A and B are shown apart, each in its own frame.
Chain A
Amino acid sequence: MILIYFITIMLIAALLALVKNKPFQYIAMSVFIIVQITLTTYIFFQGDINYPDYFRADSLGLIFLTLLTIISVTTIIQSFVYLEKRNDTIAHRSYYFASMVIFISSMTGVFMSNHIGVMWIFAEATTLSIALLIYHERTHEAIEATWKYIFISTLGLSFSFIGILLFDISISGFHSALFTFSDLQNVFISIQNKMMLQLAFILIVIGFSVKMGVFPLHTVCIDAHSVAPSPVSAMVSTSLMNVGFVAIFRFYIMLSHSSIFNWMNHVLLIIGFLSILFAAIYLVKVKNFKRLIAYSSIENLGIVAIAIAVGGIAWFAAILHLVIHTFVKSGIFYQMAQIIRFYKTKKVYLIGRYFHVNPIGGIVMIFAFIILSGIPPSGFFFTEFMIFSSMFSGGYAIVAGLVMVLLCFIIYTLAKYFFKTLFGPVEIETINSSKKISKWESVPQLILLVLTLVISIYPPPFLLDMIQDAIATLPPIN
């Protein structure tokens, strides 16, 4: 099944790049959506893939694959909206869609792969395929951001490949047949060479931090957010960050019974704390609306990294946090596309009175702010509550206090700029000179926000079961 999927995807991408025709793009993207949904539902109900050496459908991968499929449908709809309002040549459009198809399918590959090398290949493929998407607007900033993103990301992934090779060397005495996550979990219990494993894990975390958007290499991720077309930013900020999380978390699970378990927790705690710290510091001087939201993503992924480190109920909260984050953040970025188009700027201080201009879009932004800031009934309230309470009970009270202070700064900045956008003053010229906004454009965002609320208030039991299953093999924290 998954092999047929990848062949179909290659075919669709090749046709999209070659056939430069608008109606064809609509047809091909609809076919792609159908293929993606078919694969997801098939794996969801069948729960089984034919190639256990390379691919495996476990709960962790499946949760994020489902999220990816939902987000990709809305992203493709919003991409059409975005592209219709721009006067791009037909060639640019076709490269956009071809890259998007490869990008989404390589993320699918990361979530589904079981072989470590295969996962690395797909992770690298996400970097290569996103290049043209970031470059789409073809401005100077776009060139700069694309260059930095692909260079640093490729370099980072090279580091994680060194890490993978070090794992390979460290198990060379204990011949296991396959180099897969599921097979190796038991091998690492008996490995005594602590320093080798530590070096390998730190290299892997550094490499995938580009994708996950946490401390060492998060800066290129922010640059990519700020210049990419907004529907693409929505993907970078949600699904791509989930890719980084899944990669790191799989290694974490694989090593969870080894001798470096406590050390890994300390590394992740430091990384998460530094991410939140950097986000809070840089948010003070941010002037670009998209960078503002990007720093908010860094902060949320920092919380997730801390949650992994703390363990216990926080592992559960981390995945739930990412699910909610995925829905709300993509909604914000879709709405952002509209805001940027209307005001023709990304500068925060030139945007205002958005509620007056487009009440439905304004409601989306207010909703999104309530969820982001963790005011009940936002799901972030529950997840952050779980994370903080397990931090206090786990002996991390000082860190928890510091993180709370930093979160106050972040929420203050977010509130300042969100309400400036909605109700703040703006030159009346800007509003009169722009075109009217269609109400229907905000429908996908509203659906995503309703989904967020549903998950926050009544999380579906099958989701909770899947999250429980994903963290089932982790050891009890001491």
Chain B
Amino acid sequence: MATLLNIIFIITLFYAAISGRMFALINLLMIQGLLLFGVALIELREMNLINLIVILVETLVFKAILVPYFLKRTIRQNNIKREVEPFISGVNSLVIVSVLIILSFVLTFSLQQNFHKVIYFTVAFSAILTGLFLMVSRKKIITHIIGYVILENGIVLLSFSVGNEMPMIVNAGILLDILVSVLLFGFFLSKIRYISKKFEISSLSKLKD
């Protein structure tokens, strides 16, 4: 069951590479949040109950509801154009993401961990690399935030696979930090309209020597 969820997670990464519409990307984040919720439900059953409930609720509320909602609101408020506008076209992106997934397989096996959850490792690394790839290959700043959220989803998946040795307070703090950082990104993104209406990364090039 967890393997199935992981495979669906990989498929969302492919979809993220070719998707041309901003809202489709954000809906994808919502699906990933739900998948993470499912994985947590299956993987962390043996944890003590309060800890488990906190993590489950936080994953569901933060990852599947609050972050996507907030990103959509930011797009609407700032009248950001709804196309993704990549530097690299959809098909090429698809090829690159496939290569990244193969790379993460290679990385996982070269770590030679006799670790029973190889698939988690691979999927998490693929998500991290895909998030980074979305950041460098898209013009708009909002896509960078989406890339960051995908990367964070990968990290959360990795942390679930560890079997979670961190105490509750630490987990709660980590998830809260991630949420606050996305909120701050949104806040400062709306400030960028004073520099440029296009919200592209190329407009942030004033500071240099």
Contact = CB atoms under 8 A, between A and B. Distances in A.
A135 B166 CA distance: 34
Interface stretch (B18-26, B67-75, B154-162): B154-162
Interface string B162-199: 11011101110110010011001100110110110000
Contacts of A121: 170, 173-174, 177
Interface in B123-176: 128, 141, 144, 148, 151-152, 155, 158-159, 162-163, 165-167, 169-171, 173-174
B184 A131 contact: yes
Contacts of B206: 140-141, 144
Contacts of A170: 113
B115 interface: yes
Contacts of A227: 207
**Could you say which interface size class chain A belongs to?**
35 or more
Contacts of B209: 282, 285-288, 291
Given A115-B170, A158-B152, A143 B195 contact: yes
Given A117-B166, A158-B151, A141 B115 contact: no
A148 interface: yes
A172 B180 CA distance: 30
Contacts of A288: 209
Contacts, number: 108
Interface string A168-184: 11101000000100000
Contacts of B48: none
B111 interface: yes
Nearest to B128: A162
Interface in A12-31: none
**Could you say which interface size class chain B belongs to?**
35 or more
Given A117-B174, A121-B170, A144-B204, A162 B111 contact: no
A162 B173 CA distance: 16
Summarize B's interface: helix, strand, loop or mixed: helix
A170 B163 CA distance: 13
B173 A193 contact: no
B184 A150 contact: yes
Interface string A391-429: 000000000000000000000000000000000000000
Interface string A36-70: 00000000000000000110000000000000000
A282 B209 CA distance: 7
Contacts of A135: 188, 191
A85 B177 CA distance: 34
Summarize A's interface: helix, strand, loop or mixed: helix
A175 to B, nearest CB: 9
A165 B177 contact: no
B115 A169 contact: yes
A169 B191 contact: no
B195 A165 contact: no
B181 A195 contact: no
A116 B129 CA distance: 24
B174 A179 contact: no
A124 B113 contact: no
A215 interface: no
A17 to B, nearest CB: 15
A457 interface: no
A82 interface: no
B199 to A, nearest CB: 11
A127 to B, nearest CB: 8
B194 A147 contact: no
Given A125-B177, A147-B192, A165 B207 contact: no
Contact of B159 (A54, A147, A151, A165): A165
A162 B170 contact: no
Which 6 residue pairs are nearest across A and B when measured between Cβ atoms? A117-B170, A121-B173, A124-B177, A144-B204, A154-B181, A223-B207
Interface of A: 53-54, 115, 117-118, 120-121, 124-125, 127-128, 131, 135, 140-141, 143-148, 150-151, 154-155, 158, 161-162, 165, 168-170, 172, 179, 193, 195-196, 199, 223, 226-227, 282, 285-288, 291
